[in-house]
Amino acid sequence: MTRVHPNTAAPFADLPSLPACCGATREGGVAVLTVWRKSLLFSCHGFTVFDAEGNLVFRVDIYGSGSAGELVLMDAAGKPLLTARRKKLSLGETWLIYNGEDADNPLYSVKRHVSLLHCKGLAHVTPLRGGSGSAGYAVEGSYSRRSCTVYDERRRAVAEIQRKQAVGGVAFGDDVFRLVVQSDLNTCLAMAIVIVLDQMPELASLPLRMTLSITDLARVLLLSILGGEICEIEALGDMGSSDFSWKLADHPKLPKGKTVAVVVLDGWGEADPDQYNCIHVAQTPTMDSLKKGAPERWRLVRAHGKAVGLPTEDDMGNSEVGHNALGAGRIFAQGAKLVDLALASGKIFEGEGFKYIKECFDKGTLHLIGLLSDGGVHSRLDQLQLLLKGCSENGAKRIRVHILTDGRDVLDGSSVGFVETLENDLAKLREKGIDAQIASGGGRMYVTMDRYENDWGVVKRGWDAQVLGEAPHKFRSAVEAVKKLREDPKANDQYLPPFVIVDESGKAVGQIVDGDAVVTFNFRADRMVMIAKALEYADFDKFDRVRVPKIRYAGMLQYDGELKLPNRYLVSPPEIDRTSGEYLVHNGIRTFACSETVKFGHVTFFWNGNRSGYFNPSMEEYVEIPSDSGITFNVQPKMKALEIAEKARDAILSRKFHQVRVNLPNGDMVGHTGDIEATVVGCKAADEAVKIILDAIEQVGGIYVVTADHGNAEDMVKRNKTGQPLLDKAGKIQILTSHTLQPVPIAIGGPGLASGVRFRKDVPDGGLANVAATVMNLHGFEAPTDYEPTLVEVVDN
């Protein structure tokens, strides 16, 4: 990966360079950044800047409202790179740029151009330290129109601010734009210039956007006030439609009106064939024929790590990020990454959510509830550790942790190690005088972490232990609890029964009572929504809560943006907007979505950017088939695949819908049980379901897109570096219950697919986020320009 701008050249000697990990560029050293005029912190405004690969590169967080006199440009981890300060008592508007957070010896001044005669000049950037490499720059054009150029002293264009254009020339707003920086300009300085331009009220967007509707007389008045923007006013007058539009441009070659089936096989990756690859072992003639039958219409896409907005390439994919990417067509920094950033910068402890719970620290107990592992799908141990540290440093005196053991995103049996680590951390806090203990626990699939209201009994078990301090098992320590409960030969981490920790008198050490604060520390939404409802809703009838303590509750993130649940949260969730589902509905696409309960929200809630409900109920129908509850899915590995396929078939044959979207859960849900035989049965059932859907598509002359959200069933063992299965101490194969890092297949076809359509060869790194534009094309539309590129092209036969 190329760096954004390795600052090896002399002119940048005084300026900070970006860490290599922060910046991918296009070939040739040109940095193409997407600037979002929005802070990652919900209480702030500012900027969030991504590189061409979706990596966060810069941030600016401005507290309070209005214009700031000082702005700090930070890298992704919150390290200050440059500080811009408005120069006091200066004639005209001048800002000074300092290295890091230095208070003196500025590097550059940025002065607004004042001449009314020069139409294009916006600002001058002047080096203040001299030296051989120092260079000045002139900024020209219109910042308000997001169209300006930075010239060096030889009049070479070294950076440009450009609008992001949607198809047809319709811009989608002022708050997202491009900053293209040539290798002759330091990228940090270029971004500092942007934030300074944004702070110059005469140049910023709002006043100018008002000019679109004012009279010529008023324009003339504005001309004299705005000076440097004179030339742009007339142009703005012609841009009456600069507002965002949902309208998608027609695809130049592909027709509209075809029924498109979008099939997501959950947990279905591509891996080398062997006996632990359940997809290989299972009879999957339909999926095999897609792979072998049409090589130009079958390929692999990335489904893990940065391709889906996760912090590193070591992060396995999961359904939340996978379906978010599939539906949204862009890569958003996901919860795991956002929490990392907020913790690294310490901003998590400055936000409104934290201030809200902190009110209880003096007299009450802080309860932290969540999944205890380093799986990184729902939560991470290192984040919990930083949260504990920050809370204790911010005044928490009594802390109780309510743990949920994993064994699904990590190896079964690993819970003991995680509990020991946490116990050590809490012991260290106790040495510092903080009364910190584990208070209760239970396996994630049996206690608390149900989803999509499949089984409220799961949440109730958690409520009883965490809030009421009641559970069938009582122990003096959590390590003892987990070890003892695992002695049952049928026990595993995912399904450990609930337990509470008691004191010498047998009393639970950590009931939740009036005046306490509660934080659910999972960042992922689906399995936190139900407990959030139980903790937050006054009106609640899903089970008898017995006692409803008056607490201050915050989620690590807000788990449901539509329900605003919970109301308080520590880190703002990714704002996944303008999803393909919403665009398509606005463009007349009637949609049917279906899965069984345990995956229903994947093709609705996650697909639509963590938003519950319909965009337009008259255009959409979402059907949920009740999942079996109270069982592990190796008992019924066929799950409801057949029923889902039949519903999809009926929807296709009804010809009422343009898009029929389903999730087939078997590879994942059965794969998570670690039962290889059952997973093979599940994969076969999923393949049969695909066939039913493809047959229906054949009958209506439609198109299919078959893909997956992440890997799971294709590899059921933990492996060493050479790919050989790892053995445990007893010489047994270590079963892998978790997702994988494998890519997933995507296949397109069907009688409705125009004959020249095939996968492009120039998107070799394509990932799940490229699928949305692909599907939009197959519906006959161009995708918005900021979507990840389509995977298909149409060649003339």
Ligand X SMILES: O=C(O)[C@@H](CO)OP(=O)(O)O
Determine the Cα–Cα distance for residues 33 and 55; give it in Å rounded to an integer: 10
Give the x-and-dash track for 208-247 against ligand X (CB under 6 A). ----------------------------------------
Specify the residue, 258 or 378, whose C-beta has the smaller distance to ligand X.
Answer: 378
Q: DSSP letters along 112-166, please?
A: E---SS-SSEEEEEEESS-STT---EEEEEETTTTEEEEE-TT--EEEEEEEPBP
**Residues contacting 731, CB < 8 A, separation 6+:** none
Q: Output 367 or 378, the one with its CB closest to ligand X.
A: 378
Does position 409 interact with ligand X (CB under 6 A)? The reply is yes
Q: What is the DSSP letter of 57?
A: E
Tell me the C-alpha distance between 295 and 758, whole Å: 9
**455 near ligand X, judged by CB under 6 A:** no
> From CA 197, how far away is CA 553, in angstroms rounded?
40
Strand ranges, E, within 398-549 = 398-405, 435-443, 473-475, 499-501, 517-520
What would the two tokens of residue 21 be?
Answer: 């990990």
641-653 and 676-700 are packed helices; what angle lies between their axes, rounded to 10 degrees? 10
**Relative orientation angle of helices 335-345 and 381-393, to the nearest 10 degrees:** 30
Nearest distance, CB of residue 323 and ligand X, angstroms:
9
Identity of the residue, 626 or 701, whose beta carbon is nearer to ligand X in the bound complex: 626
Residues belonging to the active site:
319
Q: How many CB atoms lie within 10 A of CB 727?
A: 13
| Helix, strand, coil share (%) of the chain residues, nearest 5 | 30, 25, 45
Q: How many Cβ atoms are within 10 Å of 646's Cβ, its own excluded?
A: 17
Does 611 sit near ligand X (CB under 6 A)?
no
Q: Which stretch binds ligand X (CB under 6 A): 89-97, 312-320, 410-418, 471-479?
A: 312-320
Site for ligand X in 640-679 (CB under 6 A): 668
Contact call for residue 520 and ligand X (CB under 6 A): no
Q: Is the CB of 378 or the CB of 649 nearer to ligand X?
A: 378
- Pair of tokens at residue 509: 């050490």
Contact status: 323 vs ligand X (CB under 6 A): no
Q: Which is nearer to ligand X, 337 or 590 (CB)?
A: 337
Give 228 or 311: the residue with its C-beta nearer to ligand X.
Answer: 311
Per-residue exposure over 296-311, b if at least 16 CB sit within 10 Å of its own CB, e if not: ebbbbbbbbbbbbbbb
The least CB distance from residue 277 to ligand X, in Å, is 18
**Helix pair angle (415-431, 381-393), 10° resolution:** 10
Residue placing its CB nearer to ligand X in the complex, 354 or 600? 600
Q: Bridge-partner residues for 659, per DSSP?
A: 260, 591
Q: Least distance to ligand X from the beta carbon of 493, Å?
A: 12
Binding mask 29-68 for ligand X (x = CB under 6 A): ----------------------------------------
DSSP 388-453: HHHHHHTT--EEEEEEEE-SSSS-TTTHHHHHHHHHHHHHHHHHTT-EEEEEEEEETTTTT---TT
Using an 8 Å Cβ cutoff, are 594 and 601 in contact?
A: no
Q: Nearest distance from residue 494's CB to ligand X, in Å?
A: 9
One-letter identity of residue 123: A
Rounded CA gap, 335 and 386, in Å?
16
Whichever of 201 and 457 has its CB closer to ligand X, that residue is: 457
- CB-wise, 318 or 558, nearer to ligand X? 318
Q: Min. distance of Cβ 668 from ligand X in angstroms?
A: 4
Stretch that binds ligand X, among 251-259, 295-303, 318-326, 538-546 (CB under 6 A): 318-326
The reply to whether 408 sits near ligand X by the rule CB under 6 A is yes
For residues 616 and 590, give the distance between their C-alpha atoms in angstroms, rounded to a whole number. Answer: 10
Judged by beta carbon, residue 203 or residue 735, the one nearer ligand X is 735
For residues 261-300, which are near ligand X according to CB under 6 A?
Answer: 266-267
Query: Among all residues, whose Cβ is closest to ligand X?
Result: 319
**Residue 459 Cβ vs ligand X, minimum distance, rounded to whole Å:** 14
How far is it, in rounded angstroms, from Cα 746 to Cα 767? 10
Asked if residue 326 binds ligand X (CB under 6 A), the reply is: no
318 binds ligand X (CB under 6 A): yes
Least distance CB 687 / ligand X (angstroms)? 18
Considering only residues 330 through 369, tell me which ones interact with ligand X, judged by CB under 6 A: none
Angstrom distance (rounded) from CA 430 to CA 479: 17
Cβ proximity to ligand X: between 142 and 738 the closer is 738
Q: What is the closest distance, in whole angstroms, from the C-beta atom of residue 67 to ligand X in the complex?
A: 43
Q: How far is CA 182 from the centre of its chain?
A: 29
Q: Nearest approach, Cβ of 57 to ligand X (angstroms)?
A: 28
| Residue 321 CB, nearest approach to ligand X (Å) | 8
Q: With contact defined as beta carbons under 8 Å apart, do 482 and 419 qualify?
A: yes
Size of the site for ligand X (CB under 6 A): 11
**Minimum CB–partner distance for residue 527 and ligand X (Å):** 6
700 and 638 in contact (C-beta within 8 Å)?
A: no
The dihedral formed by the CA atoms of 18, 24, 30 and 31, expressed in degrees to the nearest 10: -60
* Residues in contact with 568: Cβ distance below 8 Å, sequence separation at least 6, in sequence order: 352, 353, 356, 357, 552, 553, 554, 555
Our finding on whether 377 is near ligand X (CB under 6 A) is yes
319 near ligand X, judged by CB under 6 A: yes
Distances (CA, A) of 333 to 57, 77, 92, 527: 11, 13, 39, 20
Contact between 768 and ligand X per CB under 6 A: no
Q: Shortest approach of ligand X to residue 638 CB, angstroms? A: 18
Structure tokens, 341: 């950033």
Can you tell me which of 402, 527, 647, 779 binds ligand X, judged by CB under 6 A? Answer: 527
Token pair belonging to 362: 């003096």
The enclosing H or E element of 745 equals strand 744-749
8 A C-beta contact, residue 554 and residue 572: no
Q: Which residue lies nearer to ligand X by CB, 377 or 491?
A: 377
- Give me the residues that bind ligand X (CB under 6 A), please: 266-267, 318-320, 377-378, 408-409, 527, 668
